[in-house]
């Protein structure tokens, strides 16, 4: 601990001793109240005053001395008004001391200063000499009240205004984070949370509910409660608590469903920061459940092509008339599972069959059946092509061109899956035919490679037979020549 902190701690402790042991009236308060001093008037309602902590607890000096010279004498420990970060240190002299807090009957946590200093507000201000925020920035100085006290600046109903004091001040925010929006309060007031908060509902989310209080971090910081991968658990703190949410009459299984969804798996298990979290669809400060009209806009902000195709499809009008949410009707909302081909078609598990039957809607039924048939054909054709390419590759054949074309077949299948949202069998057939064509070409090329592999072996066998015949003939020729040479040599010797 640094020297100033030791000094402050001693001051506070001495002040408390004076007040406690002497039980005398606080001369500081008597004089300052007499002078009509505003801080002293506020201090009479301060939680610290009510706990018996005198002015000298923070300012030092002798609260029993009637004379100003003696009461406010530096030799008596008087320090005047604490400045800059000394304010937070002064508060922490008690609030970070768990034994002292226990003696005062408090069960508050004692890590506020550490949390504040490591938070985004604990960074140095532009002056470079002090941190951005100190305790009094949010809690006030002489009229500090319990957080639950409706008059406290950090009570659920007031905290938004307190945060907005800086965060809605464009000139101030520009000095520290010019890219950060300053309209959070305006947006918040339009949200379900904001409107309920304005009506006096202390249970709905306010700034501190999502961002934290002392331990606020930048949204880009992985430690932040509003970092993309942390958002679902932050929201579910309330929205997953059935007892807490009972009066709001909304489901509380969203987090459970979202965790299992394709989005939840991508975000929470694979750590894909591009995957949507709660705020991606509901908004953050202006959070609201998307309406029937807006749900496709929400999904369409990422799935743009699907949304465009749907808007131009015959389903658009029918859905609007039936008051059905566009994407949600087939895909669900929080528990959106990976869209497999099973969703399409006329089998009982297909979503199309929920509305289309051969009797009531034969056209739609036929279209759904055709699209599913083509999708299945595409998939099996691509699978067959991939298997042949793999076989040719395993046989050591050069097949990179066919392998590259296989990507086109896969691409066509993906396009076909997107084209489903147009609900137009003709358009779907065009894309599917292209994919089937490419897959067919790949199959032919890969099959040729496999055939070539066997042709090479047969060719090698033929070549080996020819070479062996030649080699044997040559060997016999050498033997015949050498036999003749030896015979001649023998005749030569004898003669």
Partner 1 sequence: MIPFWKRAYNWIDERVELEGLVHFLGKKYVPVHRHSLWYYFGGVSLFLFIIQVVTGILLLMYYKGSEELSFESIQFIMSKVQFGWLIRSIHSWTANLFILAAMIHMFSVFFEKAYRKPRELTWLTGMLMFFLALGFGFSGYLLPWNELSFFATKVGTDIAGVIPVIGKLVMPFLRGGDEVSGATLSRFFGFHVAVFPGIFAVFLGIHLLLVQRQGMSEPLGTAKEGGDEFMTMPFFPNFLLRDLLLWLIVLNLLAILAVFFPWELGRKADPFAPAPAGIKPEWYFLFVFQTLKYIPAKLWVVDGEVLGILLFGIAGLLLLLVPFWDRKSSRGQENRFITYLGIFIVLYIIGFTILGWVV
Question: Could you give the string, one character per residue 379-398, with x where binding to partner 1 holds by CB under 8 A and - elsewhere?
Answer: -----------------xxx
Whole-number minimum distance, CB 470 to partner 1, in Å?
Answer: 6
Return the number of the residue (312 or 471) whose C-beta is nearest partner 1.
Answer: 471
Contacts of 441 (CB under 8 A, 6+ apart): 402, 405
Whole-number minimum distance, CB 222 to partner 1, in Å?
Answer: 27
Return the number of the residue (172 or 404) whose C-beta is nearest partner 1.
Answer: 404
Burial of 225 (0-12, 13-18, 19+ CB in 10 A): buried
What is the Cα–Cα distance from 477 to 119, expressed in whole angstroms? 96
What is the Cα–Cα distance from 209 to 285, expressed in whole angstroms? 12
What is the Cα–Cα distance from 143 to 132, expressed in whole angstroms? 21
Single residue of 467, 483, 484, 490 touching partner 1 by CB under 8 A: 467
Whole-number minimum distance, CB 400 to partner 1, in Å?
Answer: 6
Single residue of 151, 169, 482, 487 touching partner 1 by CB under 8 A: 482
**Ramachandran region, residue 323 (left: φ > 0; alpha: ψ -120 to 50; beta: rest):** left
Single residue of 24, 30, 124, 470 touching partner 1 by CB under 8 A: 470
Residue 477 sits in the site that holds partner 1 (CB under 8 A): yes
Tokens of 490: 């023998």
Single residue of 401, 414, 444, 451 touching partner 1 by CB under 8 A: 401
User: How much is the CA Rg of the chain, to the nearest whole Å?
Assistant: 40
What is the Cα–Cα distance from 213 to 228, expressed in whole angstroms? 19
**By the 8 A CB rule, do 338 and 395 touch?**
no
Whole-number minimum distance, CB 301 to partner 1, in Å?
Answer: 34
Choose the binding region for partner 1 from 6-14, 74-82, 324-332, 449-457 (rule: CB under 8 A). 449-457
- Total number of residues binding partner 1 (CB under 8 A)? 25
Single residue of 478, 487, 488, 490 touching partner 1 by CB under 8 A: 478
Q: Which residue has the tokens 């909302």?
A: 333
Whole-number minimum distance, CB 473 to partner 1, in Å?
Answer: 10
Q: Across the strands, what pairs with 124?
A: 131
Write the CA distances from 157 to 66, 101, 124, 163, 205, integer angstroms: 41, 27, 29, 12, 10
Return the number of the residue (38 or 486) whose C-beta is nearest partner 1.
Answer: 486
The dihedral formed by the CA atoms of 53, 58, 59 and 60, expressed in degrees to the nearest 10: 70
Quick check: helix, strand or coil at residue 124?
strand
Single residue of 22, 362, 400, 490 touching partner 1 by CB under 8 A: 400
Return the number of the residue (305 or 477) whose C-beta is nearest partner 1.
Answer: 477
Residue 463 sits in the site that holds partner 1 (CB under 8 A): yes
Return the number of the residue (170 or 460) whose C-beta is nearest partner 1.
Answer: 460
Contacts of 120 (CB under 8 A, 6+ apart): 132, 216, 217, 218, 221
Choose the binding region for partner 1 from 281-289, 373-381, 428-436, 456-464 (rule: CB under 8 A). 456-464
Single residue of 161, 457, 483, 490 touching partner 1 by CB under 8 A: 457
Count of Cβ atoms closer than 10 Å to residue 279 Cβ: 19
Residue 475 sits in the site that holds partner 1 (CB under 8 A): yes
Quick check: helix, strand or coil at residue 191?
coil
Contacts of 426 (CB under 8 A, 6+ apart): none
CA angle, residues 85, 80, 31, in degrees to nearest 5: 140
For CA atoms 405, 410, 414, 420, give the dihedral sign. positive
**By the 8 A CB rule, do 254 and 334 touch?**
yes
Single residue of 83, 220, 383, 456 touching partner 1 by CB under 8 A: 456
Tokens of 187: 């947006």
Whole-number minimum distance, CB 455 to partner 1, in Å?
Answer: 10
Whole-number minimum distance, CB 181 to partner 1, in Å?
Answer: 39
Whole-number minimum distance, CB 434 to partner 1, in Å?
Answer: 24
Choose the binding region for partner 1 from 208-216, 312-320, 367-375, 461-469 (rule: CB under 8 A). 461-469
Choose the binding region for partner 1 from 82-90, 173-181, 270-278, 473-481 (rule: CB under 8 A). 473-481
For CA atoms 223, 225, 231, 232, give the dihedral sign. positive
Whole-number minimum distance, CB 451 to partner 1, in Å?
Answer: 14
Return the number of the residue (32 or 395) whose C-beta is nearest partner 1.
Answer: 395
Single residue of 468, 483, 487, 490 touching partner 1 by CB under 8 A: 468
Single residue of 459, 484, 487, 490 touching partner 1 by CB under 8 A: 459
Contact residues for partner 1, defined by CB under 8 A? 396-401, 449, 456-457, 459-460, 463-464, 467-468, 470-471, 474-475, 477-478, 481-482, 485, 489
């Amino acid at each position: 601990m640094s020297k100033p902190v030791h000094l402050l701690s001693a001051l506070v402790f001495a002040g408390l001793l004076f007040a406690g042991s002497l039980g005398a009236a606080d001369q500081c308060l008597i004089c300052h109240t007499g002078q009509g001093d505003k801080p002293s008037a506020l201090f009479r309602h301060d939680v610290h005053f009510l706990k018996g902590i005198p002015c000298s607890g923070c300012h030092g000096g002798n609260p029993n001395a009637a004379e100003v010279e003696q009461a406010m004498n530096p030799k008596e420990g008087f320090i005047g008004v604490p400045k800059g970060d000394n304010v937070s240190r002064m508060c922490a002299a008690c609030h970070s001391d768990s034994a002292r807090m226990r003696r005062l009957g408090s069960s508050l946590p004692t890590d506020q200063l550490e949390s504040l200093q490591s938070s985004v507000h604990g960074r140095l201000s532009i002056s470079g000499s002090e941190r951005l925020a100190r305790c009094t920035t949010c809690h006030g100085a002489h009229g500090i009240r319990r957080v639950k006290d409706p008059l406290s600046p950090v009570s659920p109903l007031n905290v938004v205004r307190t945060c907005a004091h800086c965060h809605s001040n464009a000139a101030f925010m520009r000095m520290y984070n010019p890219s950060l929006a300053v309209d959070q309060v305006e947006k918040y007031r339009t949200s379900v949370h904001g409107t309920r908060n304005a009506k006096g509902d202390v249970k709905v989310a306010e700034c501190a509910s999502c961002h934290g209080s002392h331990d606020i971090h930048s949204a880009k910081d992985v430690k932040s409660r509003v970092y993309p991968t942390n958002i679902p658990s932050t929201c579910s703190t309330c929205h997953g608590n059935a007892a807490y949410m009972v009066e709001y009459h909304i489901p509380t299984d969203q987090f459970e469903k979202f965790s299992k969804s394709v989005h939840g798996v991508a975000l929470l298990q694979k750590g894909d920061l591009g995957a949507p979290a709660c705020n991606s669809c509901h908004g953050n400060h202006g959070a609201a459940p998307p309406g029937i009209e807006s749900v496709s806009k929400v999904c369409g902000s990422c799935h743009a092509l699907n949304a465009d195709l749907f808007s131009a499809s015959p389903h658009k009008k029918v859905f609007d008339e039936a008051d059905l949410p566009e994407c949600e009707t087939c895909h669900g909302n929080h528990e959106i599972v990976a869209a497999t081909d099973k969703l399409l078609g006329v089998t009982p598990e297909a979503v199309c069959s929920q509305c289309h039957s051969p009797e009531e809607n034969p056209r739609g039924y036929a279209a759904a059946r055709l699209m599913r048939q083509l999708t299945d054909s595409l998939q099996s054709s691509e699978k067959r092509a991939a298997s042949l390419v793999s076989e040719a590759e395993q046989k050591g054949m050069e097949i990179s061109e066919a392998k590259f074309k296989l990507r086109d077949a896969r691409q066509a299948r993906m396009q076909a899956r997107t084209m489903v949202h147009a609900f137009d069998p003709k358009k779907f057939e065009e894309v599917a035919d292209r994919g089937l064509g490419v897959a067919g070409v790949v199959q032919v090329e890969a099959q040729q490679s496999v055939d070539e592999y066997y042709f090479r072996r047969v060719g090698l066998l033929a070549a080996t037979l020819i070479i062996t015949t030649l080699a044997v003939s040559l060997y016999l020729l050498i033997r015949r020549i050498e036999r003749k040479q030896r015979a001649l040599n023998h005749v030569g010797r004898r003669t």
